[in-house]
Structure 1
Amino acid sequence: MTETTVHYILLGALLAITVSLFIQRFKPTLVFGWITMLLVVSGIVPVEVLLSSVSNKSILTIFLLIFITSALRKHFNLLGLIDGLFRSIKSPRAFLAGMTSSVALLSSVVNNTPIVALMIPYVYNWSKKRNLSPSKFLMPLSFAATLGGTITVIGTSTNLVLNGLLEANDLQPLAFSDFLYPGLLVTGFGLLYLVIVGYKLLSNRKDVLEDFTHNRREYIVETVLLPQSNKVGKTITEAGLRNLDGIFLVEIYRGNKLISPVTPTESLQANDLLYFAGEVDRIVELLKDDNGLEIAKRDKFEMGDALDVVEVLLPITSDLAGKKVRETNFRERFDAAIVAIHRDGRRLGGKIGDVELEFGDLLLITTGNRFKNIIVGNKHLYTVSVMERIATNGKREKKWIMGAALLGLSAVFAGYLDLFMFLLMFLGVLASFGMFTAQDLRKDINSDLLIILITAVTLGTSLIHTGTAAWISNGLTGLLNGASPFTILTSVFLLTVVLTSFVTNVASVAIVFPIVAALIAQNGVDGTPYFLALAYGASASFLTPVSYQTNLMVYGPGGYKSSDFLRVGAPLTLIYIITILTYLTLRYNIHA
């Protein structure tokens, strides 16, 4: 196989990844995994490159951070600390300023996704208690987490993946000090914008649970089973109330007992109140049959014993996405039943069982007794309207552990201790106190993320080692012929910003890094400002809900539309671009 043929094949692979992620037809894991595997099997990418990516220190660092963040969230009172800060605040803007600042600070040192997952129910409940729309606060929550992640090299996986690519290609990794000052600047300006301008731009969206409260009969129809019905004494299956077309039995209310979710073997009794969800027309057709069911004369909802409905969302880590509801074994797996599904700010119609779930979907569910235990730490569903219990501060060893963590971080910042070794030692300390176990390891490992990170580093490294990156760079040199260093810097930055708005940020780094590395080698310049432009461009995920996983997490609960992200995110992106380009130009003396 000729060198030119290899270049064209790798360029085709790069374009295939970009297009596939843009149209969102396939999961990123499948796109990266299959393309990398085909390249390895064909011999274009050496298997040694793949194996070296598996042991890449920066990738391992990402997972150490995930494990540590999970342990801190589970055993340390982060939510209690936040609640103590904001419990007495009544001003919406004061709360917004304090909340976004705290989230940005936390996100600079721990993984931002679990922080946002922790904060969504808290922000939701804080706003509802004060008759405020959660939509005013949830998007700023996501944006603050993203901004805070730019302050340090460990704040976001994007920075660590970039450092992994630099290390794999024998280039100098970026240091903490390289990110600190531009990160603080862009976070400060960004948070000011969100509090002063962004709050005004955000619409007061009615949240899904509020819509359910005001329009329950559009979701649930209450029926009573008459004593003379031939269904009395029969199980749900025997009575023909299982696998109904377009509707399903959500729960049964018997005396003072609530049965939810309803199993196929549950026996019906006279005067049972049966609650059906789904297409109202189908429920009406069911009631027309002579089966002893009729609309209830009394309405449970007006008697004060409200239906226990919970909002949950599908995060990017969920294995439910891509499956139809009836294929998920949802009732048995989560001890809950789906009442409605919301996507893109609207309720989906049709038969719930036939709906194919997507990342970011918001589900209204009724829950059984086991649900609260099942949902704790679950990576396939995140609760929105139910807040985690705020624990009390307690054990003395926790204070010692946090003191040691601060001391270790100071040593890392000062350059006396390697980041990877510090994280490994800290995780060992947590494990020795029983705060991280083998079970936690199995639960917290994200195989999808692992595959994406390994294959992204493999592809980026292969593009450089095969000379494909230099070959692509030569073509771009013609376009940038005679261009100033500032023009090249701006081009790299804007290209990455556009890519990260429509494909994953890790993919953006993997695609652009080889080109930037080749451009730097050809021009013989200091690569630091250009790699920083790449890092910050890949973190500029404010324009679309799909550009970053925390955006998807707040998309459903906030009742947002894509236009909301563009309206609020576009000015923030402009501020972000101006701030970073100005800093890099002045700090590294880039000529226009």
Structure 2
Amino acid sequence: MIPWVVLLSIAGLLALLVTGLVRPAIAFVTLAAAYLLLGLIDTTTLLQQFTNPALATLLLLLLVSLALERSPLLDRLAQHMFKGRPQMATARLMGTTAVLSAFLNNTAVVATFLGAISRQRHIAPSRLLIPLSYASILGGMTTLVGTSTNLVVSSFTLGSAGFELGMFQFSLVGLPVAALTFMVLLWRAKALPHHVPEDTADKLAYFLAADLQADSPLIGHSIEANGLRRLDGLYLLEIERQGRLISPVGPEEILQAGDTLVFTGEVGKVQTLQRFPGLKLFGHHADDLLATNLVEVVISHESELAGQTLQDVDFRSMFNAGVVGIRRGGKRLEGQLGKIPLRVGDCLLLAVGGDFRQHRNIDRNFHLLSGSFTRPRLKRSESLLTLLGFATAIGLAALNLLPLFHGLLLLLGGLVLARVLSVAELRRRFPFELWLIIGSALAISQALGNSGAGALLAQGIQQLFNGHGVYPAFIGCYLLTLLLSETVTNNAAAALAFPVAWSTAQAFGVDPLPFIMAVAYGASACFLIPYGYQTHLMVYSPGRYRIADFIRIGLPVSLVYSAAVLVLTPMVFPF
């Protein structure tokens, strides 16, 4: 009975992750705690999972990346990226991104190029941003440190098989797979939408909610009489009045106190609203808000704003900034904008105060797209120290002269002593949620084995593929991981699929390594839906994309990637 209860609880966990009703960290920790209370794992075993060496290595890598992402190297590369013909510029961007993402945090790489792409005017950003995100995946899956997913799989391998995966063990299959997929992506990039600033669709990107104050002279007059019908670059989309929407808005519509006017328009034209007295944008007076510097940002995957509404957040005190507009891909936002829960990847147009850049929580919450604000960069000597130290740690680990954990720990200590990183910054940017998810997932995996659920799962898989051989079972494990990666986060996909793959290998009595690699490659195979991978969410709104754009480009990419993985993995890592 207990094995079935455990399997049902895993199914419930998956359902919660797919629906997004509960944050992944809360779901994983709660299930791990339930298994502890039921006696399926003991306290010592649970705590050991949170100190897994591969997990500790991943945390160190992410902390060191805080310094790497501030190196001016990426900015200098971005300055020379978009010269020449568009197709050559796309290929140059993809190649550079893939190489950098093999060793650096792909989120940092995408964040740097994201700002450069959004500010340049040579090529439409919509033709570059999906290739940028996909190339970061292709580069990341080729090395142990290229993506957190590979380190997650390595941590599971250490816990189950007693060994860690090598630095370039992923490259044996990863490099040819990346090369094949790279060519398909370059070919399909021509089919991306061409959104340029002159397009009407691009002008109607941002949504602004302006409340009409009780003392406004606009009250009692029509839209036509108030001059709200023909605005330069802005369009009055609808009126929210006492819980109902008036759309479309006719020129004879009379404004009433308490109305919320929903405008849509281009970034540079929001200053138009300054001449209308008695308007408050997202709770701030329009004339005060729009008199300050405008900065365009994307909500990051680390942001504490995700899941909250603008009405719930004291934005002004948190960032010394006010929200002027909000945008989400190419979607039409409906309902009261102030009550719409924010998502990772949403674009916000901010009116910032003079000390905006001094706020310590900016880097954690936002990626910069445009505006005069620039993130602080390392000095030349600091950048050289960081890059040289990181390259040394990677090289020593690759040659088996010094474990990666030791090298990264020494480097992190050196960066703190050299004041490149501060203890306060490490505390503020510590990936606490990721640590909870992976540690809890390792504990859940242990409970699967202790309860007999793992053996029951292995028996079912063996019966399913009975008479077909081990290769179809291998394909099944890969496709399961790919499906999970498209519907939940990639790290959660690896955490859920690894026990299945391990049990399958055990059931067939074969070497588990090809099944382990299938999970690693499958967890990085997120090319169809933007919600499963954080860099996709980062480019979703800046590129004015729709989900159909990801599917149209990603389907051939996913098919070629998967075919190459399924053919090459058993050849390089035989059963």
1:118 paired with 2:112, answer yes
| Amino acid paired to 2:53 | K
Could you tell me which runs of 5 or more consecutive residues in structure 2 were left unpaired when the two chains were aligned. Answer: 220-233, 242-248, 258-269, 275-289
Pick from 119, 126, 135 the counterpart of residue 126 of structure 2: 135
1:185 paired with 2:176, answer yes
Instruction: Work out the CA distance in 2 between the residues paired with 1:413 and 1:277.
Output: 59
| Amino acid paired to 2:118 | Y
1:172 paired with 2:163, answer yes
**Alpha-carbon shift at residue 119 of structure 1 (Å):** 1.9
* Partner secondary structure for residue 384 of structure 1: strand
Pick from 28, 32, 35 the counterpart of residue 24 of structure 2: 28
Instruction: Work out the CA distance in 2 between the residues paired with 1:395 and 1:444.
Output: 23
1:64 paired with 2:33, answer no
Residue 225 of structure 2: aligned partner: none
Contact 1:147 1:187 in 2 (8 A): yes
Pick from 445, 465, 469 the counterpart of residue 484 of structure 1: 469
| Amino acid paired to 2:81 | F
Contact 2:486 2:532 in 1 (8 A): yes
Residue 86 of structure 1: aligned partner: 81
| Amino acid paired to 1:77 | P
How many residues align? The count is 523
Instruction: Work out the CA distance in 2 between the residues paired with 1:527 and 1:419.
Output: 24
Per-residue Cα deviation, 1:512-557 (whole angstroms, up to 9, x for no partner):
2112222222322222111111110111011101111111111111
1:446 paired with 2:448, answer no
Q: What RMSD over aligned residues (CA atoms) do the two structures have, in Å?
A: 3.3
Per-residue Cα deviation, 1:424-446 (whole angstroms, up to 9, x for no partner):
11111211211121111112112
Contact 1:343 1:360 in 2 (8 A): yes
Contact 1:69 1:110 in 2 (8 A): yes
Residue 338 of structure 2: aligned partner: 353
**Alpha-carbon shift at residue 311 of structure 1 (Å):** 2.6
Contact 1:314 1:380 in 2 (8 A): yes
Contact 2:345 2:540 in 1 (8 A): yes
Q: Aligned in 2, Cα 1:28/1:397: closer, same or farther, shift over 3 Å?
A: closer
| Amino acid paired to 2:144 | V
Instruction: Work out the CA distance in 2 between the residues paired with 1:139 and 1:329.
Output: 33
**Alpha-carbon shift at residue 286 of structure 1 (Å):** 8.8
**Alpha-carbon shift at residue 96 of structure 1 (Å):** 1.3
Residue 546 of structure 1: aligned partner: 531
Per-residue Cα deviation, 1:55-76 (whole angstroms, up to 9, x for no partner):
11111111111111111222x2
Instruction: Work out the CA distance in 2 between the residues paired with 1:217 and 1:45.
Output: 50
Per-residue Cα deviation, 1:479-538 (whole angstroms, up to 9, x for no partner):
110222221221111111111110122222222211222222232222211111111011
Residue 152 of structure 1: aligned partner: 143
Instruction: Tell which deviates more after alignment, 278-287 or 59-68.
Output: 278-287
Residue 315 of structure 2: aligned partner: 330
1:14 paired with 2:10, answer yes
1:561 paired with 2:564, answer no
* Partner secondary structure for residue 325 of structure 1: coil
Q: Aligned in 2, Cα 1:379/1:278: closer, same or farther, shift over 3 Å?
A: farther
Whose radius of gyration is greater, 1 or 2?
1
Per-residue Cα deviation, 1:33-58 (whole angstroms, up to 9, x for no partner):
22222222232232222200111111
**Alpha-carbon shift at residue 148 of structure 1 (Å):** 0.9
1:100 paired with 2:85, answer no
* Partner secondary structure for residue 506 of structure 1: helix
Instruction: Tell which deviates more after alignment, 361-370 or 89-98.
Output: 361-370
Q: Aligned in 2, Cα 1:35/1:401: closer, same or farther, shift over 3 Å?
A: closer
Taking structure 2 as the reference length, the TM-score comes to: 0.83
Q: Aligned in 2, Cα 1:503/1:391: closer, same or farther, shift over 3 Å?
A: closer
* Partner secondary structure for residue 356 of structure 1: coil
Q: Aligned in 2, Cα 1:358/1:489: closer, same or farther, shift over 3 Å?
A: same
**Alpha-carbon shift at residue 394 of structure 1 (Å):** 5.2
**Alpha-carbon shift at residue 287 of structure 1 (Å):** 6.1
1:205 paired with 2:205, answer no
**Alpha-carbon shift at residue 30 of structure 1 (Å):** 2.0
Instruction: Work out the CA distance in 2 between the residues paired with 1:354 and 1:412.
Output: 49
Contact 2:489 2:532 in 1 (8 A): yes
| Amino acid paired to 2:189 | Y
Per-residue Cα deviation, 1:132-153 (whole angstroms, up to 9, x for no partner):
3211111111111111111111
Per-residue Cα deviation, 1:259-299 (whole angstroms, up to 9, x for no partner):
xxxxxxxxxxxxxxxx999955769989667xxxxxxxxx9
| Amino acid paired to 1:366 | A
* Partner secondary structure for residue 8 of structure 2: helix
Contact 1:122 1:387 in 2 (8 A): no
| Amino acid paired to 1:80 | D
Instruction: Tell which deviates more after alignment, 310-319 or 541-550.
Output: 310-319
Residue 263 of structure 1: aligned partner: none
Q: Aligned in 2, Cα 1:387/1:562: closer, same or farther, shift over 3 Å?
A: farther
Alignment of 1:121-520 (within 5 A): 121-126=115-120, 129-130=121-122, 132-195=123-186, 197-205=187-195, 214=203, 219=208, 301=272, 308-374=293-359, 377-386=362-371, 389=374, 395-396=380-381, 398-520=383-505
Q: Aligned in 2, Cα 1:544/1:216: closer, same or farther, shift over 3 Å?
A: closer
* Partner secondary structure for residue 348 of structure 2: strand
Per-residue Cα deviation, 1:339-395 (whole angstroms, up to 9, x for no partner):
332235224244332222223322233333233333775222222234874888854
Instruction: Work out the CA distance in 2 between the residues paired with 1:176 and 1:189.
Output: 22
Instruction: Tell which deviates more after alignment, 186-195 or 414-423.
Output: 186-195
Instruction: Work out the CA distance in 2 between the residues paired with 1:470 and 1:446.
Output: 33
Contact 1:311 1:383 in 2 (8 A): yes
Taking structure 1 as the reference length, the TM-score comes to: 0.80
Contact 1:135 1:202 in 2 (8 A): yes
Contact 1:77 1:393 in 2 (8 A): yes
Percent of aligned pairs with the same residue?
A: 28
Residue 227 of structure 2: aligned partner: none
Per-residue Cα deviation, 1:535-580 (whole angstroms, up to 9, x for no partner):
1011101110111111111111111111111111111111111111
Contact 2:127 2:193 in 1 (8 A): yes
